[in-house]
A and B are shown apart, each in its own frame.
Chain A
Amino acid sequence: MIFDSYEAFRASNFAARACILGSGPAGTTIARKLGAAGIPVVVLEAGSREFSDESQDFYRGATVGDPYFDLDITRLRFMGGSSNHWAGWCRVLDSQDFEPKAWAPDTGWPISRTDIEPYLGEVHDILELPDFRPDVPISDDIRWVQLIKSSAVRFGEKFADELDKSKNIAVVLNTYATELAGDGKRVTGARLWSNGQDAGTFSADYFIVCTGGLENSRLLLWSNQRSNGGVVPNAAALGRYWMEHPTFEGGNAILADYGEFEVDAVNEAFFSPTLPAMERLQIMNFGIRLIETPYPSVKRLIADLACTAPDMAEWMSAKLSQRLRCAAQLYVAWEQAPLASNQIELSKADVDHAGVPRIELHWKKSPLERRTILEGLRLFGKTLAEKNLGRVRIADWLTNGEDYPTNEELAGHHHMGGTRMGTDVTKSVVDANSKVHGMDNLYVGGSSVFCTSGECNPTTTITALACRLGDHLSKVITV
């Protein structure tokens, strides 16, 4: 059932065992799992069926540190969440992303990739993906990786009919959970805001916070402050270790044959480091994206190469005269080192219409990341040269140690960390089952539980984790 207001839902007398906050990929997936297990669940969604400026305004916030997107631009606040404008790039985190790395503090998850692999079949159906393909090593250092360009499922649209017909699931739109109340053991209720006013408290036996990779931290920080630590009793890491996938053009490549590598539906190919290469160079994971270069840039690149290696340039210009596609821009997206200082805080100056403090995001890229991209492009260039597949030119801003360019992609709109998973309560917020440490009935869904970000887009892993959490809760919650 879908209700357009909290009043309509109340009138229905629907009795829920569990309450999910947010109807994005995480919340919708968990709700469908619980519904399928016969557990009555309510999904409280702050927005309505469509985009609105009024709803979006609740997402405004500020960023301190490196340049970042406006916080009301980098996500969407209505049914289906940011899946309403995601690009649909899909890949699951690598096995190595789950393992601790001696050279990067605070890495490693309490679960491994094998814990989510049983759910990849379901993820495949939910996200409408072709088959997952194994990586293909092209040298000891570099592997070709599959990043699927999917149809970008809009969760609100795809599942609206199913949710509306479900007897076990009630989706309640235009209902903003402004805070949770808790006694240090259990969440006792959620304070609601609907129709521009306070709408009282909603109670359920279990609460699952799925409000997105920025908002999860905001809601829990505010709830904890209001309940004197009664919602997240171990809050040292709450809001901390926030991560993105910074993305910049790091250079160009001239290729002997663009067709050498398997490309995806939009003619792009992706490459990442092998674990031994990461260990040897003590760098983080990264993804190099090869995008075919427009023709005029190819000429300029070959002319540049002629200054350094005339014979090589001559060979390439011959290729050019045969009108072969032969050059590519190299975009690099990388894994950030998890840092406690990259954190979501509550603004001391600015609140939204419901009186909840807005986000102040503190975010900076680290020197380790800078080394990761430079060494990464070197590894890729070395591989292409050794295999005679092509030649790489690293961008001047990187080789000259200049600032990051200001006119580029910037990052992926991937909001990770803030309520990370772990066993150490001083460095994590939830346990291996996504349950908040010390609380009996509070769980978190979404990429805020990520301990590390890997190099790939998060939603495939979010969906797999949501299937896993849904299964877990189906066993914990008895009807």
Chain B
Amino acid sequence: MSFFIKKMSRRAIVQALIALPALSLFRNQPVVDPPNADPNEIVEVNGWILKRSDLA
């Protein structure tokens, strides 16, 4: 990993990665979080198999 990347914060890395031109930024489907939703519930969003808590 380059010196430049080592110096960046984790969030900055993520944001830089998001900004890669090849990415589709408009994929996100709105996920409606019902009240009292189980954070461990398994959800499928954009092909990802996630826990609901991952979406926070």
Contact = CB atoms under 8 A, between A and B. Distances in A.
Interface string A383-394: 011100001111
Q: What's the dominant secondary structure at chain A's contact region? A: helix
B10 A314 contact: yes
Contacts of B18: 303, 306-307
A161 B25 CA distance: 64
A348 interface: no
B14 A321 contact: no
B25 to A, nearest CB: 6
Nearest to A395: B47
Interface in B1-56: 1, 5-6, 10-11, 13-15, 17-18, 20, 22-25, 27-28, 40, 42, 44-51, 54-56
A392 B46 CA distance: 11
A73 interface: no
Contacts of B10: 314, 317-318, 321
A308 B5 contact: no
Q: What's the dominant secondary structure at chain B's contact region? A: mixed
A295 to B, nearest CB: 9
Nearest to B46: A308
A368 interface: no
A311 B1 CA distance: 21
A304 B49 CA distance: 13
Interface in A412-429: none
Interface residues of A, number: 36
A268 B3 CA distance: 31
A186 interface: no
A385 B51 contact: yes
A317 B45 CA distance: 20
A313 B55 CA distance: 10
A378 B48 contact: no
B47 A321 contact: no
Given A307-B24, A317-B14, 20 more contacts: A299-B20, A302-B17, A303-B20, A308-B46, A308-B48, A309-B45, A309-B50, A309-B55, A311-B56, A312-B54, A314-B11, A321-B5, A321-B6, A378-B49, A381-B44, A385-B49, A385-B51, A391-B48, A393-B49, A394-B47
